[in-house]
Structure 1
């Protein structure tokens, strides 16, 4: 009996820049473009795209059109906005030019499974391109300027902004902040139209520092603490590239620990400490933070009596009255915030 010859894998076409890309994807299962093995389309070598990729770990994919493909890097923390900070950039396989317009959900279980959205796109100019260093000038709607990528080891590169900060007035998140605290009072304020009212959930105070899709936490005394479960990574993914400092409490609601967010002292490179409470709450509402482990706490400007009665009905410890014009004073116990137990009249 003649033994069967082993099945041979077809040889890769010489110079096939997309062989690795095709080998990782099943065109029948992913909505990503998987072009046939044929001559590569060519453009003007001036297109760039940044895609926000909600895969197992949130990251941003930076791609430059060059020689008929999109040369690609995965950037876990996004592009640096200042020359003071370099970010890791992991070189990945070349992608087809069609990927520059791709948005969609890659099925779970497939390579890179998760949602892909276009974060920015535009044109770029090449100043230098070698195997170890790439210098470009980017012209996008959200990011512009001179950047250099330089190889450090293997597939690991670093990306550095060569220009001054994109937003010179932007400030980094504080390293840590002690939260503002309410004073305890027996009664609701009389001039109630000047106040907003929130539920007091009786949970653990946590401040969340969200940047580059990652989150760290401090407690009510400003000490670094671990966040519960997967709250940090999921909350970071919800905010994406927007840096934010959130104030809230970790409470048990309907049998589940939920991070109830009630303030935003810092957002998008801008401290909001001197912004009135009412405006900060409107800004927070605009973030539409709602997920399996977090929620924007409700607030009610005006009459606090219905809020207190609702708190009593839900067996909550009380309500917090906050002056609509009050700034955020870190570490202070302020009469502009008042904790009123539900049993008070």
Structure 2
């Protein structure tokens, strides 16, 4: 009987990688376990592995499982992996095959509805992934994966920003608003899906931000500003998070979800926000040479286009010194 792990072993040196490298051929057995691993290798992708005849049949899926049956994702058939890989996660050294960080994204069991050389139809039962999927072969090793169930998430919202309306003075009901700096940068909505973002076409430095979010799908709202000579994305709103549209949620809920992402790096950060503190934020904006502050109603949904729920209050002009 052919050793199903021969190709797997030929690509790995057990003395150099922490991956399991069994010395003996696998024993055929029945089983229904699966694992999906998030793999930050040369390019981010997800590895789907299904237990089959004592090994894990494997596909590398660059954009992860499709959430919408209207969109199929590429699935590259790779070598069978040993059963020990069901729980493997760790750092594969750079220079080795598959070098990079691998973590377990989901695990569970599956049901087989069909399994042939050209088509694999399964039902996944996991903590993060669930539903019916079919993998179908398109050429030698390239397959596609299709979701057979209804969409698992809300569609992305229209990418049109909410705009503040200018006003000379802060609102009287100051406690009903949060106050943020008006940065004076270039407005940018950043959709992220499958660890990638279209915004990277014009801003390639945003690719690591998208990759850092892994399989999390988001739409960030912010501005590109220049700080210390480098372009930085300052994020101040979140329109979409992990499959759920937030545009109908109040500002406070969107702000909490944004802060939970913990966006903090050299090229991107979460803008500070101060509820009910108009005067000190205006003073700080003026001292830092910023154009003003934006007052945002705490209970306001996200309304594309100009909205009176967001008020741009310019910094007062500096008075010339006396004498």
Q: CA deviation at 1:43?
A: 5.0
Moved more, 180-189 or 201-210: 180-189
Residues 1:143 and 2:125 aligned together: no
- After superposition, the Cα gap between the structure-2 partners of 1:120 and 1:341, relative to the gap in structure 1 and judged at 3 Å, is same
Q: CA deviation at 1:41?
A: 4.5
- What SS does the aligned partner of 1:153 have? coil
- The separation in 2 between residues aligned to 1:312 and 1:251, in whole angstroms, is 17
| Cα RMSD after superposing both structures | 1.9
- The separation in 2 between residues aligned to 1:109 and 1:186, in whole angstroms, is 59
Q: Give the TM-score normalised by the residue count of structure 2.
A: 0.92
**Structure 2 residue corresponding to 1:280, chosen from 254, 264, 268:** 254
Pairs within 5 Å for 1:161-310:
161-165=147-151, 167=152, 170-174=153-157, 176-217=158-199, 226-231=201-206, 233-310=207-284
Equivalent residues, number: 318
Q: Does structure 1 conserve the Cα–Cα contact (< 8 Å) formed by 2:162 and 2:307?
A: yes
- The separation in 2 between residues aligned to 1:274 and 1:163, in whole angstroms, is 26
Residues 1:343 and 2:296 aligned together: no
Q: CA deviation at 1:205?
A: 0.5
- The separation in 2 between residues aligned to 1:343 and 1:43, in whole angstroms, is 76
Q: Deviations over 1:267-304 (max 9, x none)?
A: 23322222111221111111212233211111111112
Q: CA deviation at 1:154?
A: 1.5
Residues 1:25 and 2:12 aligned together: yes
Q: Does structure 2 conserve the Cα–Cα contact (< 8 Å) formed by 1:71 and 1:94?
A: yes
Q: Give the TM-score normalised by the residue count of structure 1.
A: 0.86
Question: Which residue of structure 2 aligns with residue 113 of structure 1?
Answer: 99
- After superposition, the Cα gap between the structure-2 partners of 1:39 and 1:24, relative to the gap in structure 1 and judged at 3 Å, is closer
Q: CA deviation at 1:42?
A: 5.1
- The separation in 2 between residues aligned to 1:237 and 1:127, in whole angstroms, is 33
Q: Which runs of 5+ in 1 are unaligned?
A: 1-13, 218-224
Pairs within 5 Å for 1:37-76:
38-41=24-27, 43-76=29-62
- After superposition, the Cα gap between the structure-2 partners of 1:312 and 1:113, relative to the gap in structure 1 and judged at 3 Å, is farther
Q: Deviations over 1:144-203 (max 9, x none)?
A: 2222111001110011122333x4xx32113x4221111222222232111101112211
Q: Which runs of 5+ in 2 are unaligned?
A: 319-323
- The separation in 2 between residues aligned to 1:113 and 1:146, in whole angstroms, is 31
- The separation in 2 between residues aligned to 1:81 and 1:147, in whole angstroms, is 10
Q: Deviations over 1:299-327 (max 9, x none)?
A: 11111222222223333222211111122
